[in-house]
C-alpha cells in the first residue's frame, strides 16, 4: 500500500500534520484490489476500503473503460450477500456512481427492489435513492406505487429519500412525478424537519410552471403550517418570487410582506437572516419597510458566531449600495468588525463603511485600512479599491488621502486584476477630479518604473500621452516615458514612442528634445518601434503631406474615422499590387441589416426602425424621435447610442419579442418590440416585468405598457432604469411578458363584425401561450456601445 501523504497546514502557525490515505493511488492497482469482492469469505472492512478508493478515483475525474466499469459493477453486485450495514451503504454509493447501462441495470434491480421492501429502514432509503437514479421510465411505472407509499412513510429517512428521488425524477419523467401531488402535499405537513423541507421543494418544482398554483401554495403555507427552519427558508424565497412576479408598484400594498416581516421574529437564526435578505432585495422597498430588517441584522453584527456576522454584514453591504442612509445606524458596530479575525467579514465591513461613511470619517477609515490590506486576498482587495473609488467620487475634497492610499497599495505585491483595478480607479479619479490630475499622473509614472504587466504599462502610457501635455510641467514626465524605451519589451517600447510623439506635437518647447529621443529609437531592434519613430519624426518635422499641426494632432489623438468592420473587410479584399492600400477607399458608413427580421416565415420585423436599411445614424435618429415623444423619458437628455435588437424568443414562438437597449448618460431604456402572430387572439395591457435583482446598480424609474396588441401589428413597451454615471455598470435582467388574452370569435351570421370573448386574469398561467420567460445579459458602458 502507498505511503500516506504528509501535508503541513502552515509552518508559521503550527506543526500539526495531516495525512492523506490517497497518495499515489493508481487506477490499475485499485482495480486489482477489487478482486477481493470475489472472495468466498468477504472481508467487509477491506471491501469498504477498496470501494472508497474507487469512489475517490471517480470523483477525481478518472474514467473507467466499458470493460473496466462492467467488471467492477458485476463484482460490486456480489457484495449484496454481505450482512454488514456499512458495506451495504458503500455498495449503494458505488452502484449509483457507476451508472450501469440499461442491459446491466436488470442485474441489480431485483436486489434493490428487495431492499426497498426490507424491514431495515436504512436499506429501504438507500435502495430508493439508487433505484431512482438508474432505472428508466418503463421500470419507474412498476415501482411507482412503492414510491408513493414511501413518501408518506412514518420513518423520515425513507420519506426524505423518496422525495429527493422525486426531485431527480422530475427532470426525466415529469408526468409520473406530477401524479404524486397528493402524497407530496401530505408530506409537507410532516413533523420531520427534513421531510417537510424536501416535500416543499418537490411540490414547488411540480407547480413552478403554473404561477397561479405557486401563488396559492405560498398563500396556504404562509399561515403557519411550516415549522421546519429549512422549509421556512424555502418558503421565504418562494414568497419573494411571488412578490417580484406580481409586479406591485412602489407604494402599493405588498402581498405576503407581513409574512416576511413576521419571520424576523422567528426563533431560528437562518430564518431571520433569510427574511431580512428577502426584504432588502424587494424592488422598490421603502426605508420604513427596511427598518425592522436592518435592526435584526445589526444585532447579528455583534454575534459570537462568525457565520452570523458574515451573513449580516454581507446583506448590509448590498443594502448600502441602494439605501446608504438606512445602514448608517450600524456604522459603529461595523467599525468593530474591521479587526475581525475573519478577513471576509472585515472586508465587507470596511467596504460597507466606505459606502455609508461621511466626509469626516474618511481619514479615520484610511488609517484603519493601512494594516488591513496586507492581510486579505486579492479578490477582497479589489472590492475595497472599488469602494474607495466610489467614496472619492462622492467626496472629491478628500482626493489627496484617498489617492495616496491607492498609490501606496499600488506599490505593494499583487496580481494583475488587483493592480488593474487600482490603475483604473486612479485614471477615473484623474478624469473626474481635475485637482487630482498632477498627483495621479505622478503616481502612475512611479508605478510603471517597476510594472511587470505589459497591458498596464501600455494603458498608462496611452493615458499619459493624452493628459501629460496638458499639465503645468509636461517635461517632468519625459524621463519616465523614455525609460520604458530603454528598459521594457517591444510592445511597451512602441507605446512609449507614440507617447513621446504626443508630447512633441502639443508642447513646442519639448519638440527638440523629443526629436533627439525619437532618432535614438530608430536604432531599436524591433520593426514596430523603428517604424513608429520614423513616422512620427516625419510628421513632427513637417516632411509629410499631413505636416500641418492640426492634421498631426488629428492623426495622433483622433480616433479612426472608418468603422473597424469596414476596414477589416477592405483589407481582406485587398490584393497585393503596385498600388498601395488606400484607407480613403474604405466606406465610412456601416449599412445595417433589417433590425428585427425573423428567421421563419410568418414573422415580421418589429419596432419603429424595422424598415430602415440605411446608416445606423438614421436608425438612432428614429429611435431618438420616438423616445423624445414619450413624456416619461423626455428629461433623460440626449440619446447616446442604441443597440441592435436582441431576440428574446425563439422563431416558432406564438408571441415574438426582441429588445433594443437605448443608452443615456444616466439612464437606460429597454424597448421591447412585441408581435402577436395568433389571429384568434387580441392581447391587451401588454407589459414586460423586469427582474433586476441581479443588477444592483440599476433602479427602475419608469415603464410604459402597451394598451393593445392586435394580430400581426407590431407594438412597443418600454422600461427605464437609472444607472450610475461615470462608472461601468453591468447587470443581468430577467424578463416576463405579461398581458391579458382576449379570444377573437368570427361569425358568418354577422359579416364584417368581430365578437370578443375574454376573461380578466390577475395572474396569467405560466405556460408558453401566456407567459414567456427569457433572460438576456445586458452590459452597459458609459464610453461606448454595448
- 3-class SS at 356? helix
Distance CA 740, CA 213 (A): 18
User: 187-240: per-residue pLDDT in tens?
Assistant: 998 888 899 999 999 999 998 888 888 888 888 888 777 888 999 999 999 998
Distance CA 23, CA 704 (A): 64
All three cell numbers of 216, joined, read 396559492
User: 474-496: per-residue pLDDT in tens?
Assistant: 899 999 999 998 888 999 999 99
All three cell numbers of 562, joined, read 472608418
Higher pLDDT, 101 or 489: 489
The torsion region of residue 122 among left (phi > 0), alpha (psi -120 to 50) and beta comes to alpha
User: 325-363: per-residue pLDDT in tens?
Assistant: 888 888 888 888 887 888 888 888 888 888 877 767 777
Q: What is the pLDDT of residue 309?
A: 92
All three cell numbers of 617, joined, read 445614424
From the CB of residue 430, how many other CB atoms can be counted at a distance below 10 Å?
Answer: 22
Which burial class, exposed, middle or buried, applies to 588 when counting CB atoms under 10 A from its CB (0-12, 13-18, 19+)?
exposed
Q: What is the pLDDT of residue 273?
A: 93
Where b means 16+ CB within 10 Å and e means fewer, 271-301 reads: bbbbbbbbbbbbbebeeebbebbbebbbebb
Least confident of 310-319, 437-446, 543-552, 651-660: 543-552
The torsion region of residue 475 among left (phi > 0), alpha (psi -120 to 50) and beta comes to alpha
**In the predicted model, is pLDDT for residue 778 greater than 60?**
no
Higher pLDDT, 615 or 643: 643
* Model pTM above 0.85: no
Q: Taking a C-beta distance cutoff of 8 angstroms, is the pair 313, 352 a contact?
A: yes
Q: Taking a C-beta distance cutoff of 8 angstroms, is the pair 566, 587 a contact?
A: yes
CA distances from 639 to 595, 607, 625, 631, 731 (A): 18, 17, 10, 15, 20
pLDDT band at 612 (very low <50, low <70, confident <90, very high): very low
Higher pLDDT, 774 or 128: 128
All three cell numbers of 564, joined, read 473597424
H helices of 598-724, in order, are: 616-628
User: By C-alpha distance, which of 689, 678, 687 is closest to 742?
Assistant: 678
Q: How many CA atoms lie within 13 A of 50 on its CB side?
A: 23
Least confident of 273-277, 350-354, 442-446: 350-354
Taking all residues of the chain, what is their mean pLDDT, rounded to a whole number?
A: 79
pLDDT band at 551 (very low <50, low <70, confident <90, very high): low
Q: What is the pLDDT of residue 299?
A: 92
CA distances from 120 to 93, 134, 145, 432 (A): 17, 22, 19, 72
Q: What is the pLDDT of residue 542?
A: 58
Distance CA 381, CA 344 (A): 10
Query: Which distant-in-sequence residues (6+ apart) come within 8 Å of 514 by Cβ?
Result: 478, 500, 501, 503, 504, 540
All three cell numbers of 759, joined, read 376573461
CA distances from 655 to 610, 645, 711, 717 (A): 17, 16, 10, 14
Distance CA 519, CA 509 (A): 17
**In the predicted model, is pLDDT for residue 274 greater than 90?**
yes
Q: Taking a C-beta distance cutoff of 8 angstroms, is the pair 168, 133 a contact?
A: yes
Kind of pairing between the strands at 715-722 and 641-642: unpaired
User: By C-alpha distance, which of 710, 786, 772 is closest to 741?
Assistant: 710
Amino acid at each position: 500500500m502507498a505511503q500516506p501523504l504528509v501535508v503541513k497546514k502552515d509552518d508559521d502557525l503550527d506543526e500539526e500534520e495531516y495525512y492523506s490515505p490517497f497518495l499515489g493511488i493508481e487506477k490499475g492497482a485499485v482495480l486489482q484490489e477489487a478482486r477481493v469482492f470475489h472472495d468466498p469469505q468477504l472481508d467487509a472492512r477491506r471491501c469498504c476500503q477498496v470501494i472508497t478508493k474507487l469512489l475517490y478515483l471517480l470523483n477525481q475525474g478518472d474514467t473507467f473503460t466499458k470493460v473496466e466499469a462492467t467488471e467492477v459493477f458485476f463484482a460490486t453486485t456480489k457484495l449484496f450477500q454481505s450482512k454488514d450495514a456499512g458495506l451495504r451503504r458503500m455498495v449503494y454509493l458505488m452502484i449509483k456512481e457507476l451508472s450501469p447501462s440499461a442491459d446491466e441495470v436488470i442485474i441489480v434491480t431485483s436486489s434493490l427492489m428487495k431492499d426497498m421492501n426490507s424491514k431495515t429502514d436504512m436499506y429501504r432509503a438507500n435502495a430508493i435513492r439508487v433505484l431512482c437514479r438508474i432505472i428508466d421510465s418503463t421500470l419507474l411505472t412498476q415501482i411507482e406505487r412503492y414510491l408513493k407509499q414511501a413518501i408518506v412513510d412514518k420513518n423520515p429517512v425513507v420519506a426524505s429519500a423518496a422525495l429527493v428521488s422525486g426531485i431527480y425524477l422530475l427532470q426525466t419523467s415529469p408526468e409520473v412525478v406530477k401524479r404524486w401531488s397528493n402524497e407530496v402535499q401530505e408530506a409537507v405537513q410532516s413533523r420531520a424537519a427534513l421531510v417537510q423541507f424536501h416535500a416543499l421543494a418537490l411540490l414547488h418544482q411540480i407547480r413552478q410552471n403554473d404561477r397561479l398554483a405557486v401563488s396559492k401554495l405560498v398563500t396556504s403555507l404562509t399561515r403557519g403550517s411550516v415549522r421546519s427552519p429549512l422549509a421556512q427558508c424555502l418558503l421565504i424565497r418562494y414568497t419573494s418570487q411571488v412578490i417580484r412576479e406580481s409586479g406591485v408598484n412602489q407604494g402599493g400594498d405588498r402581498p405576503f410582506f407581513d409574512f416576511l416581516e413576521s419571520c424576523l421574529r422567528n426563533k431560528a437564526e437562518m430564518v431571520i437572516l433569510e427574511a431580512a435578505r428577502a426584504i432588502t432585495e424587494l424592488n422598490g422597498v421603502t426605508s420604513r419597510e427596511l427598518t425592522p430588517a436592518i435592526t435584526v441584522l445589526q444585532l447579528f453584527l455583534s454575534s459570537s458566531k462568525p457565520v452570523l456576522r458574515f451573513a449580516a454584514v454581507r446583506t448590509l453591504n448590498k443594502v448600502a449600495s441602494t439605501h446608504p442612509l438606512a445602514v448608517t445606524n450600524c456604522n459603529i458596530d461595523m467599525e468593530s468588525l474591521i479587526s475581525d479575525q475573519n478577513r471576509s467579514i472585515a472586508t465587507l465591513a470596511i467596504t460597507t463603511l466606505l459606502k455609508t461613511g461621511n466626509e469626516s470619517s474618511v481619514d479615520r477609515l484610511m488609517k484603519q485600512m493601512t494594516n488591513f490590506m496586507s492581510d486579505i486576498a486579492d479578490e477582497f482587495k479589489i472590492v475595497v479599491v472599488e469602494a474607495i473609488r466610489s467614496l472619492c467620487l462622492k467626496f472629491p475634497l478628500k482626493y489627496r488621502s484617498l489617492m495616496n492610499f491607492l498609490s501606496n497599495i499600488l506599490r505593494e505585491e499583487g496580481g494583475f486584476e488587483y493592480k488593474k483595478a487600482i490603475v483604473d480607479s486612479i485614471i477615473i479619479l484623474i478624469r473626474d477630479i481635475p485637482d487630482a490630475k498632477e498627483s495621479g499622473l505622478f503616481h502612475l509614472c512611479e508605478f510603471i518604473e517597476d510594472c511587470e504587466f505589459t497591458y498596464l504599462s501600455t494603458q498608462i502610457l496611452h493615458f499619459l500621452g493624452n493628459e501629460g501635455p496638458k499639465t503645468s510641467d509636461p517635461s517632468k514626465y519625459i524621463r519616465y516615458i523614455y525609460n520604458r524605451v530603454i528598459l521594457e519589451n517591444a510592445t511597451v517600447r512602441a507605446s512609449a514612442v507614440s507617447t513621446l510623439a504626443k508630447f512633441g506635437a502639443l508642447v513646442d518647447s519639448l519638440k527638440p528634445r523629443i526629436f533627439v529621443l525619437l532618432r535614438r529609437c530608430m536604432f531599436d531592434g524591433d520593426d514596430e518601434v523603428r517604424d513608429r519613430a520614423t513616422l512620427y519624426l516625419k510628421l513632427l518635422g513637417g516632411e509629410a503631406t499631413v505636416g500641418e499641426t492640426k492634421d498631426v494632432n488629428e492623426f495622433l489623438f483622433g480616433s479612426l474615422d472608418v468603422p473597424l468592420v469596414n476596414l477589416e473587410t477592405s483589407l481582406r479584399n485587398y490584393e497585393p499590387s503596385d498600388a498601395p492600400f488606400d484607407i480613403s477607399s474604405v466606406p465610412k458608413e456601416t449599412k445595417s441589416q433589417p433590425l428585427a427580421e425573423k428567421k421563419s416565415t410568418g414573422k415580421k420585423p418589429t419596432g419603429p426602425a424595422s424598415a430602415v436599411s440605411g446608416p445606423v445614424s438614421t436608425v438612432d435618429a428614429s429611435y431618438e424621435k420616438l423616445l423624445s415623444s414619450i413624456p416619461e423619458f423626455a428629461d433623460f437628455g440626449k440619446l447616446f447610442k442604441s443597440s441592435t435588437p436582441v431576440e428574446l424568443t425563439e422563431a416558432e414562438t406564438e408571441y415574438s419579442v426582441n429588445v433594443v437597449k437605448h443608452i443615456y448618460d444616466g439612464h437606460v431604456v429597454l424597448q421591447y418590440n412585441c408581435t402577436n402572430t395568433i389571429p384568434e387572439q387580441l392581447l391587451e395591457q401588454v407589459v414586460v416585468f423586469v427582474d433586476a435583482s441581479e443588477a444592483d446598480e440599476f433602479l427602475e424609474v419608469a415603464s410604459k405598457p402597451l394598451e393593445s396588441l392586435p394580430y400581426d401589428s407590431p407594438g412597443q413597451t418600454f422600461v427605464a432604469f437609472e444607472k450610475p454615471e461615470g462608472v461601468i455598470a453591468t447587470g443581468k435582467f430577467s424578463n416576463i411578458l405579461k398581458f391579458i388574452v382576449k379570444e377573437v370569435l368570427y361569425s358568418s351570421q354577422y359579416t364584417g363584425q368581430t365578437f370578443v370573448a375574454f376573461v380578466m386574469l390577475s395572474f396569467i398561467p405560466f405556460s408558453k401561450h401566456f407567459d414567456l420567460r427569457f433572460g438576456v445579459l445586458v452590459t452597459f458602458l458609459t464610453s461606448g456601445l454595448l
